[in-house]
Structure 1
Amino acid sequence: MAAVVLFTRLRPGLRAGLAVVIGAVTLTNGAMHVMHVATVRATDSDLTGVLAAASGLLLIGLGAAIPVLHRGESGVTSRRRWANRVTAAVAFTVVAQFFVIPVGVGLVQTHHSRRAVGNPPSTAFRDVTFGSADGLELAGWYHPSENRAAVVIANSAAGDRNGSRRHAALLAAHGYGVLLYDARGTGQSEGSPNGWGWDWRHDIEGALAFLQRQPDVDPDRLGGLGLSTGADVLIEVAATNRALRAVVADGATGRSFADRLPGALNAAFAWPMFTAAQVFSGAVPGKPLRHLVTRVGPTPLLLIAAGSIPGEIELNRRYAEDAGDRVELWTLPRATHITAISEEVAEYERRVIDHLDATLLRGRSGPWAGRAIS
């Protein structure tokens, strides 16, 4: 209501800006409901979500039209009129880049729609449930171990187990017990979603406790494989929980303002994005990854960084430099984020399995040659 009253009292340029900002945020929220209807099924809340998407489009169109169609400039020259319009266009671009888009990202990351969970990688995986460290019930699949070692898979921002079937199949083929599950608020697990993984450490703690209880698993032979957000969270957990004896972090980037790349423009984008995520979720990020990674040792850490996301390789180089001696960094400048398993099939298998085998199957005094950065 306040925005409606304010809108009628503003100058045309400010009216246009307000319409674009509110419209973009409304469209972002509504678009998630549209995607849920298109990919899963319609629920009662999707009706208002679809209407929000339509309203957002209407507001953005109104904001774009006001500077062009406004007729209250009859007292100024044509040159001044067009200068005003160009100024408005530049202002809209800046507002979109450093407010609308980052706030939209913060909204999306904290309001993922649940996706249907498909079939497991094979019939050898069974349905399981277990508790997170803070009391939520999480759902997943478990493949029994054939070598007394087991690996928990932490998924990307979407959170559910759909994106890690191939990784699970790879590990199972080498005899590892494998637990892949839906992070809180995704798939069939309880809780609220957060694509930054700010509360996911409790899920990992619960997953490790589950693996320690399995009769086919040696509790001293547990590893983790994280994808994107899951990679960030495994670094966090490995910094304090020595039950993790080996970690593969595929696609770690940053999960807080403190993890951003240097530069004023990066800061201007990151601050509203992470601030919005905190407001929308009520959660807060943990310690910066650069601080946490220094505490991962003596746990061996394999960092895998692709080139499709700006800054991913640079950030992982920083993490590798800070991590200590038991870290290996594998960079793939032409690969896509967390898809090395399908783009570099043989090399991915070799590096990941060798990394896990070195500690989980041969003991912590396995064939480590110290830091290797390639």
Structure 2
Amino acid sequence: MSWRRWLLVGVLALGLLSALAVFGRALRHSEAYFHYPRHQAVRPADFDEAQDVSLRTEDGLTLRGWYVPSRNGAAVVLAHGLSQTRADLLPEAQILRAAGYGVLLFDLRAHGESEGAFSTWGDLERRDVRAALAFVRAQPDVDSERVGALGFSIGSAAVAEVAATDPGVRAVVLLSPFNTLWLAAAYDFRRFGAVSQAGALVPFWRRGIALDEVRTIDAVERIRPRPLFIVMGTEESGQPLADELFAKVREYAQTWRIQGAGHGNFSVTEPEAYPRRLRDFLDAALLPRGSAASEAR
């Protein structure tokens, strides 16, 4: 074999080894997303009126949560993000509770005190959101025609998908949503193209997660004309994707990109404007005009 052929073989072998290394590194990093520590939610002392509740999903899992009864006849289901618990949405829950809303905080599958082997980033969590909505609608303090849903990150993906097929969700708040589950899994691994992105997707494929079914950017079209509010931070990754989502909903949804905010914790970045805008949005969507509750606002 001539030296040219040896050189070609060497270059090809080096390229293959490099590709395998990139693939394997992406796979390991992506796999780590499924091995987060499971913390137990701690209920703060000023949330003592919240009731401990259990939800049962259609695939037989038990989810744990807290429910604060409604004082105005309306209620909101809140779904948290990856590696979090119900307690991570306590700032939003406190805002809504103070305004008289019933609030259901619950641990998504494979989080906190809920059952489940692993998160599916919004795929099977659709079942969790449906169980939460069924629970709230069955409460005697709630008008089932005045129920909304709020989700953060993977919770927003599940909320958007459920609301797209359930017209009874009368108002939708999406905090830090991703456009599609495929992009959420692969976007941060795009540096080396298809090789690194394929490696990042392997942990999802082997768990049977429906990457092609969870598409917030399509679900928002099926939510309209119901009220929709999307909030993101300017410091979150994927700003070009946020541009695309915001442009799509510009004509029919409220949007807010909070300057200086990262992935969540919006009440810290905007301690006055964020509670006010969240309340105003839900009041307009869920409280009938002329009611005592809306007049009090």
Taking a change above 3 Å as real, the CA distance of residues 266 and 119 of structure 1, as seen in their structure-2 partners, is: farther
Q: Which has the higher contact order (CA 8 A, sep 6+)?
A: 2
Taking a change above 3 Å as real, the CA distance of residues 274 and 321 of structure 1, as seen in their structure-2 partners, is: same
Question: 1:107-139, CA deviations, whole angstroms, 9 ceiling, x for partnerless residues?
Answer: 123333321221245101110001123321110
Helix, strand or coil at the partner of 2:77? strand
Distance in 1 (alpha carbons) for counterparts of 2:136 and 2:189: 42
Distance in 2 (alpha carbons) for counterparts of 1:154 and 1:129: 15
Distance in 1 (alpha carbons) for counterparts of 2:131 and 2:216: 21
Helix, strand or coil at the partner of 1:299? coil
Distance in 1 (alpha carbons) for counterparts of 2:192 and 2:85: 29
Q: Decide which structure has greater helix share.
A: 1
- Structure 2, unmatched stretches of 5+, are 1-9, 290-297
CA shift at 1:151, angstroms? 0.5
Match of 1:300 in 2: 227
Match of 1:102 in 2: 26
Question: Out of 342, 351, 357, which is 2:268 matched to?
Answer: 342
Distance in 1 (alpha carbons) for counterparts of 2:267 and 2:39: 23
Match of 2:90 in 1: 165
Distance in 1 (alpha carbons) for counterparts of 2:259 and 2:189: 22
Helix, strand or coil at the partner of 1:203? helix
Question: Out of 323, 332, 336, which is 2:249 matched to?
Answer: 323
Matches within 5 A, 1:101-180: 101-120=25-44, 122-180=47-105
Match of 1:73 in 2: none
Helix, strand or coil at the partner of 1:135? coil
Distance in 1 (alpha carbons) for counterparts of 2:257 and 2:287: 25
Question: Out of 348, 352, 362, which is 2:278 matched to?
Answer: 352
Q: Is the 8 A contact 2:40 2:112 kept in 1?
A: yes
Taking a change above 3 Å as real, the CA distance of residues 135 and 231 of structure 1, as seen in their structure-2 partners, is: same
Distance in 2 (alpha carbons) for counterparts of 1:263 and 1:143: 41
Distance in 2 (alpha carbons) for counterparts of 1:254 and 1:271: 18
Distance in 2 (alpha carbons) for counterparts of 1:337 and 1:360: 27
Distance in 2 (alpha carbons) for counterparts of 1:340 and 1:182: 20
Deviates more, 1:314-323 or 1:124-133: 314-323
Question: 1:153-181, CA deviations, whole angstroms, 9 ceiling, x for partnerless residues?
Answer: 11011142131122211111111100000
Match of 1:276 in 2: 203
Question: 1:220-274, CA deviations, whole angstroms, 9 ceiling, x for partnerless residues?
Answer: 1111111111112211111111121111111112453256669964853433222
Match of 1:203 in 2: 128
Taking a change above 3 Å as real, the CA distance of residues 109 and 264 of structure 1, as seen in their structure-2 partners, is: closer
Identity over aligned residues, as a percent? 32
Distance in 1 (alpha carbons) for counterparts of 2:192 and 2:130: 32
Give the TM-score normalised by the residue count of structure 1: 0.66
Distance in 1 (alpha carbons) for counterparts of 2:242 and 2:210: 23
Distance in 1 (alpha carbons) for counterparts of 2:143 and 2:115: 28
Helix, strand or coil at the partner of 1:239? helix
Match of 1:243 in 2: 168
Q: Is the 8 A contact 2:74 2:101 kept in 1?
A: yes
Q: Is the 8 A contact 1:257 1:267 kept in 2?
A: no
Helix, strand or coil at the partner of 2:199? helix
**Does 1:194 pair with 2:119?**
yes
Taking a change above 3 Å as real, the CA distance of residues 290 and 215 of structure 1, as seen in their structure-2 partners, is: same
Q: Is the 8 A contact 2:151 2:159 kept in 1?
A: yes
Distance in 2 (alpha carbons) for counterparts of 1:255 and 1:326: 20
Taking a change above 3 Å as real, the CA distance of residues 132 and 334 of structure 1, as seen in their structure-2 partners, is: same
Question: Out of 198, 207, 213, which is 2:138 matched to?
Answer: 213
Q: Is the 8 A contact 2:189 2:197 kept in 1?
A: no
Q: Is the 8 A contact 1:109 1:195 kept in 2?
A: no
What RMSD in Å do the two structures reach over aligned CA positions? 2.7
The residue type equivalent to 2:42 in the other structure is G
The residue type equivalent to 2:201 in the other structure is F
Match of 1:62 in 2: none
**Does 1:288 pair with 2:215?**
yes
Helix, strand or coil at the partner of 1:146? coil
Distance in 2 (alpha carbons) for counterparts of 1:258 and 1:343: 26
Distance in 2 (alpha carbons) for counterparts of 1:195 and 1:307: 26
Give the TM-score normalised by the residue count of structure 2: 0.82
Distance in 1 (alpha carbons) for counterparts of 2:28 and 2:87: 24
Helix, strand or coil at the partner of 1:168? helix
Q: Is the 8 A contact 2:137 2:143 kept in 1?
A: yes
How many residues were matched structurally? Answer: 273
Distance in 1 (alpha carbons) for counterparts of 2:251 and 2:263: 25
CA shift at 1:193, angstroms? 2.2
Match of 2:295 in 1: none
The residue type equivalent to 1:142 in the other structure is Y
